Amino acid sequence: MDHWYKDGLPFTSDGESIFNDVWGLEIQSDKYAIIGSTMGTHILKIEDNKFIEIDFVEGKYAGVQAVHRDYHDYNGYLYSVCDENASSLQIMDLSYLPDSVHLVYDSDSLIVRAHNIFIDTANAKLYACAVATPSGFHALNVYDLFNPVSPTLIYSYDQVSHVHDAYVYNDTAYLNCGNDGLRVIKSLSQGIAYELAELTSYPDKGYNHSGWISGDKKTYIMCDETPSMDIKVLDVSNLNNITVTSTFSSNSYEQTLPHNVILVNNVAYVSYYNDGLQIFDVTNSYNPKKIGYYDTYPGSDNLIFRGMWGVYPFNSNNMVLGSDRTTGLYLFDFEVPPITVNNPFNIFPNPASNYVYFYRNHVDEADYSINIYDVLGSKVDELYSTTDHLKIDLTNYKSGIYIVEYVSNIEDFTLTTKFFVK
């Protein structure tokens, strides 16, 4: 729906990357996008499906070395960290929106650098991963946000050498520990933590980078930031027996590389570096399905770690934010396909007026063409898809009966069905 780019910002050492993480805000029915760059934090309002830049907050460190910034919001404040040079923890007051944001805290007394942050909003705790402090480095530090603009250290967790990212709810933290795999820990009121579970050996193990848990806390999606490694779907309903139920990939080329993931209503939104936005239905944790994608990076796939960095789907509508390291900020409209009845070949609703969904249940990959004919045998449309669902716009269709011809591009057969436009 929209694309934003800022001229004049310095490139990182690869000669083309400028931007990094993305975050979304919903305040009094207004929606905002946050994107990091080499220079700091850019705040944009989304109005009529377009970006309007509202404010900019320069990082304590701003320059070509700023590859990583990360964001999370809590209780009307936006928290920001950077993982390069002499940086800080920054806290911005969001109450002045839609006019501006106010930087109310910018200090290196607790955090000089951190790779990622995650806030347990139910318990007012900020988890800082791979954090450098004035007194030394820690794999994970946990801070009290009882006073949102005056954080205090609760404890440091150094039972592993590195924590790259975390997902936390109700004092339970899923820690992505790089080459050491996954750890799950529980924070206690005494200011300490103990380990609930670990997963150090699993299929396609690489550098354990990031993950996100489902609303029912039974399924965890995990990305290893290693070329050619699949994304993992974990059953975490029993932490005494974490199992990998399936793996999946964008499958666009051999060295595909996932980065970050957010899971909403059993749909995994993945920023996939050179492959852009990739969207998967993981309702069936044993058989994930790709249901959408948009490639934001026009460069060569031989240049790894390029392209899409972060993703943020809004819960209240079909809007999805994406940040590309080179090309900037994107606003997507994505409609999750409806739940399909147990019919492996179907078109619905039928009769229809504005659109129909074509559905074909593919056991493995989907690669097919759709030819649509009127009752006189004239071809009125020709479509192509690589997903089980295909939404067909009927705006230019006249009332009447249409024949749908499904042609598989990887199997030697065709199927036909029909629908009626009211």
pLDDT tens digits in sequence order for the chain, 422 residues long = 999 999 999 999 999 999 999 999 999 999 999 999 999 999 999 999 999 999 999 999 999 999 999 999 999 999 999 999 999 999 999 999 999 999 999 999 999 999 999 999 999 999 999 999 999 999 999 999 999 999 999 999 999 999 999 999 999 999 999 999 999 999 998 889 999 999 999 999 999 999 999 999 999 999 999 999 999 999 999 999 999 999 999 988 888 999 999 999 999 999 999 999 999 999 999 999 888 899 999 999 888 999 999 999 998 789 999 999 999 999 999 988 886 656 788 899 999 999 999 999 887 778 999 999 999 999 999 999 988 889 999 999 999 999 999 999 988 889 999 999 99
Q: The domain at 2-333 falls in which architecture?
A: 7 Propeller (2.130)
Q: What is the pTM of this model?
A: 0.90
Where residue 83 falls (left for φ over 0; alpha for ψ -120 to 50; beta otherwise) is alpha
What pLDDT is recorded for position 413? 87
Contact 162, 180 (CB under 8 A): yes
What pLDDT is recorded for position 341? 56
Instruction: Output the six-digit token pair for 389.
Output: 């669902």
Angle at the Cα of 142 (from 308 to 238), degrees rounded to 5?
A: 75
Task: Provide the H-helix boundaries in 207-255.
Answer: none
What pLDDT is recorded for position 252? 86
Q: Which part of the chain is CATH 2.60.40.1930?
A: 345-421
What pLDDT is recorded for position 342? 64
What pLDDT is recorded for position 340? 60
What pLDDT is recorded for position 123? 96
Count of all residues that appear for the chain in the document: 422
SS3 category, 66: coil
CATH number of 345-421: 2.60.40.1930
Rounded-to-integer distance, Cα 352 and Cα 400, Å: 10
CA 263 distance to own-chain centroid = 7
Contact 382, 370 (CB under 8 A): yes
Q: Which part of the chain is CATH 2.130.10.10?
A: 2-333
Rounded-to-integer distance, Cα 9 and Cα 43, Å: 15
What pLDDT is recorded for position 323? 98
CA distances from 144 to 149, 151, 152, 171, 317 (A): 10, 5, 5, 12, 32
